[in-house]
Structure 1
Amino acid sequence: MQKFSRLHIAWVYPDLQEQYCADPKAGPCPCYHAGDEFIFERDGERDDFWHMGLNTLAKTSGDPDTIAGGPKMPHCSEAWDAIARYIYTGLQGGSIMKGWMNQENVMITCCSDGTRPVIFKIERIDYTD
C-alpha cells in the first residue's frame, strides 16, 4: 500500500496596513479572502506543487476565478515564496517543522507583505489509498 500526503491550507488573519500604505484604504490582500482553503495533492495523477497551486482552491467566500489558487490564477508570488518550502516538504510526507511547532505536521506562516499579511496554516494530512 502506497502512502500519500495532502495538505490543507487556510488563511487565518486579515489585513494590517492603514498606517503605512500609500493608499491607506487599499483593503486586505486582493488575492485571498478570510476562510479560503486549499488542498494540495501529489500522487500518481496530480502534482499541485509544480503549478504553484493552480486550481487547489477548495473553499472560498469570493469568486473562485479571482482567488489565488483558483482555476484561473496560481498563488500570489509573495505568498508562494513564503509557503512553498512547507508545501513541498509536506507533500513529500516530511516533518514540516518538528521541534518548532507543537505538531510536526502543522506550520503557521505568512506572506512577506508586511502591511496586509496573509497568514496560512499548513497542515500535512496523511492517508493511504
Structure 2
Amino acid sequence: MKHKVKVTVLDKKLYPELQQKYCADPNSGVCPCYNVGDEFVFYRDGDRDDFWHLGLNTLVKTNGNADTVAGGPKLPFCSEAWDAISRYIYTGLQGGSVMAGWMKDENVMITCCSDGTRPVIFKIERIDYE
C-alpha cells in the first residue's frame, strides 16, 4: 500500500483590527500565498519526495497564477504554513493516522497556519493507493 497526501485550502481569514493595531503594514490584507480552493498532492516514493522539497511543485489546482502560489512550480510552501501542516503531511505519507480521535475520519485534519492576523485554513487528507 502506498500513501499520498492531498492538501486543500478551505478558507482564508482576515483580522484587520489586529493588523491595524500590531502590523508594520496595517493594511497588509489577506495572505497572498494561497487561494481558496488551491489543491496540492504530496508523494513520497521512488524518485519523488515532495516532503523534503517543502511542497515545491505539488500544486495540482488553483484559480490563481500557479507561479505565485506557494507550493507551485516556483515557490515552496510558506514557512508559517509549512510549520503548521508538515507534521500531518509526513504522518500521512508514512501511512499513519493523521488525527485519530479528534476528526470524524482519522485520515483527515483541519488546521491553519500560525499567522494570527490572516490565517489560512487547510484540509489535509491521507489517501491510500496501490
Task: Report TM bin, short chain.
Answer: over 0.9
* Contact 1:14/1:116, CA 8 A, preserved across alignment: yes
Contact 1:7 1:91 in 2 (8 A): yes
Residue matched to 1:58:
60
| Structure 1 contact 17–24 (Cα < 8 Å) conserved | no
Cα distance in 2 for residues equivalent to 1:100 and 1:20: 30
Please tell me the root mean square deviation across aligned C-alpha atoms, in Å.
1.0
The count of aligned residue pairs is: 126
Following superposition of structure 1 onto structure 2, how do residues 26-105 of structure 1 map, counting pairs within 5 Å?
Answer: 26-105=28-107
**Which residue in 2 is equivalent to 1:8?**
6
Matched, 1:123 2:125: yes
Matched to 1:31, the amino acid is C
Structure number with the higher helix fraction is: 2
Instruction: Indicate the larger mover: 93-102 or 22-31.
Output: 22-31
Separation of aligned partners in 2, 1:80 and 1:19: 25
Unaligned runs of 5+ in 1: none
2:27 alignment partner in structure 1: 25
CA deviation after TM superposition for structure 1 residue 26, in Å: 2.2
Instruction: Please state whether the residue corresponding to 1:114 is helix, strand or coil.
Output: coil
- Once the two structures are superposed, what CA deviation does each residue of 1:7-48 show, in whole Å capped at 9, x if it has no partner? 111111122221111444322101101111000011112110
Give, in angstroms, the shift of residue 109 of structure 1.
Answer: 0.7
Partner letter of residue 110 of structure 2? Answer: I
Say if 1:15 and 1:27, in contact at 8 Å, map to a contact too.
no
Displaced runs of 4+ in structure 1, greater than 4 A?
A: none
Structure 2 unaligned runs (5+)?
A: none
Distance, in Å, in 1 between the alignment partners of 2:101 and 2:126 is: 16
Whole-Å Cα distance in 2 between the matches of residues 16 and 57 of structure 1? 23
Contact 1:106/1:124, CA 8 A, preserved across alignment: yes
- For residues 62 and 41 of structure 1, what CA distance do their matches in structure 2 show? 23
C-alpha distance in structure 2 between counterparts of 1:100 and 1:42, whole Å: 25
- Counterpart of 2:74 in structure 1: which amino acid? K
Percent identity reads: 67
